[in-house]
Every structure is written in C-alpha cells, then in structure tokens.
C-alpha cells in the first residue's frame, strides 16, 4: 500500500471514529484516546496527522464542504437566472448521504466552530453567486447580497438540520424543494396564506 493510500485510510478511520463518537457522547466529553481507540490507531499516528481533536473536527468539516461544493458547482453554474431549486435539491441529497456528519456539524458540536465555518463558507459563496447572477442579468439587488446570503444560508441550515435529524425524510425531497422554491419566489407573506397587501 502506498503512503498516500495509507494516509487517506488513517485519516478516514479517524474521521469516522470522531463522527460516531460525537453522535454517541457529544464532542465535549471526547478525548484523543477515545478517538484513537475507536479508530484502532496509535496516539503517535494521530498526532502525526492532527494537532488535537478540534483540528480533526475542522478537517471533517472542511471535507464535507469540499464535497458539497463539488456537488453544487454544476447545478449552480446551470442556474443562470436562479431559483431553479436544483442547488437545494442537491444539498438535501448530499445531507441524506452524509447524514451523520451533517448532524454533528449542524448541532453545533465543538463549541459551534464547525457550524460557524460551514455557515461562513456557504454565505461567502452564496453572496458571490448572488452578485454574479445580478451582473449576468443586468439587475441591481434590492437587498445587500451579503445580508441576503446570510438569510438564505440561515434558512438552509435550519432546513438541513430538520432534514438530517429525522430517521426518515419527513417529506419527499422534491416536495421540500418545491415549497422552498415557492417561498423564494413569492415570499413569507404569501407562504403563510395571505394575499399581497393592497
């Protein structure tokens, strides 16, 4: 086995051990020894890859974001005008596939730092996309793109947490996306059953 393959396998084993243990016990009570024992990896090997358990959790979060970015890139690029629902659909599918990792990040484990990283990364990318989309379509945003991105990402995080905490999806994914698309197009006032004010 090559060094790269061995390194990847070791890091994957440590990451998997962290996720399982955080779900079982919570992050605050975990030690490096707990993680290495579950991963069947020596302490010296752990420290050759990570500074501490926080560093490992940061890597788990970064890997999740890299996967999500890769999955979203084609559907975001395809959303010339926007509000197609495709990015949300892809995000929800990814969340079901990587449910346990999403759960520990979105619950705010690790003093909320992984969740903050997740939210900040998505908000920056979303604000950039909102600006690019406005430029491509020669429109002027009515709300600051940074604020708009924070609102959008906050809503998505709330939906993702609700989605991943259920053993079975509470609604078909296509139905969730359709409702979120309607919300994006028509707004909260319309969504709660009211007609537009006169």
Round to whole Å and give the CA distance between 39 and 73: 33
Q: Is the pLDDT of residue 174 over 90?
A: yes
Class of domain 54-186: mainly alpha
Sign of CA dihedral 165, 170, 172, 174: negative
CATH placement of domain 1-50: 1.10.10.60
pLDDT at 175 over 60: yes
Token duo for residue 163: 């989605």
For the chain, the C-alpha Rg in angstroms (whole number) is 19
Residue 196 DSSP one-character state: P
**Residue 169: half-sphere exposure toward Cβ, Cα within 13 Å:** 14
Q: What is the Cα–Cα distance from 143 to 49, expressed in whole angstroms?
A: 43
Question: DSSP characters for 89-112?
Answer: HHHHHHHHHTHHHHHHHHTTTTTT
Q: Is the pLDDT of residue 104 over 60?
A: yes
Question: What's the CA gap between 27 and 140, in Å, rounded?
Answer: 44
- pLDDT, tens only, 55-80: 999 999 999 999 999 999 988 876 66
Quick one: DSSP state of residue 194? P
The pTM of this model reads 0.91
Cα 45 to Cα 198: distance, rounded to the nearest angstrom: 67
Q: Work out the number of other CB atoms within 10 angstroms of the CB of residue 85.
A: 20
Share of the chain above pLDDT 90, in %: 78
Half-sphere exposure of 14 (CA within 13 A, CB side): 30
CB atoms within 10 A of CB 41: 19
Q: Where are the domains of the chain?
A: 1-50, 54-186
């Amino acid at each position: 086995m090559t060094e790269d393959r061995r390194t990847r396998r070791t890091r994957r084993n440590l990451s998997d051990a962290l996720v399982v243990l955080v779900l079982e016990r919570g992050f605050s009570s975990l030690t490096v020894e707990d993680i290495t024992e579950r991963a069947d990896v020596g302490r010296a090997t752990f420290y050759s890859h990570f500074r501490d358990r926080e560093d490992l959790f940061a890597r788990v979060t970064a890997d999740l974001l890299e996967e999500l970015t890769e999955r979203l890139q084609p559907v975001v690029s395809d959303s010339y005008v926007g509000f197609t629902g495709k990015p949300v659909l892809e995000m929800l599918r990814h969340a079901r596939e990587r449910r346990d990792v999403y759960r520990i990040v979105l619950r705010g484990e690790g003093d909320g730092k992984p969740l903050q990283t997740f939210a900040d990364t998505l908000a920056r990318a979303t604000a950039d996309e909102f600006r690019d989309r406005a430029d491509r379509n020669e429109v002027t945003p009515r709300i600051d793109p940074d604020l708009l991105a924070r609102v959008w990402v906050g809503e998505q995080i709330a939906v993702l947490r609700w989605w991943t905490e259920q053993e079975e999806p509470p609604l078909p994914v296509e139905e969730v996306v359709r409702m979120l698309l309607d919300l994006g197009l028509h707004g909260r006032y319309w969504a709660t059953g009211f007609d537009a004010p006169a």
